[in-house]
Amino acid sequence: MTVNIEIYTWSTCPFCVRAKELLKQKNVEFTEYCLDGDRKGKIKMSARANGRTSVPQIFIDDQHIGGCDDIYALERQGELDQILGIN
């Protein structure tokens, strides 16, 4: 099962780097939207993320997962692999 993973980031954000590293460790492909200087992209992200303006914001199959702390919480709870379709 292939899932669509999207992550909105800033290039200098350490939380973005951590979230991307976790996804890379899971060997899943993701689409990154770097928002450096992208005002329209920030507005789009915020609209998708229920008003959240912080980065990263992560979406899996159009479901809003949240930020770095949220994706690591899913990992600690043993739920991330299931969401990512990893057996």
| CA atoms of 30 and 24, how far apart (whole Å) | 9
Answer yes or no: is pLDDT of 1 > 90: no
pLDDT band at 2 (very low <50, low <70, confident <90, very high): confident
Quote the number of domains for the chain.
Answer: 1
Residue 32 belongs to domain spanning? 5-84
Check: pTM over 0.85? Answer yes or no: yes
Q: What is the pLDDT of residue 87?
A: 73
**In this structure, what CATH number is given to the domain that contains residue 58?**
3.40.30.10
Answer whether 20's CB lies under 8 Å from 9's CB: yes
Answer whether 71's CB lies under 8 Å from 80's CB: yes
Residue 27 tokens read as 């060997």
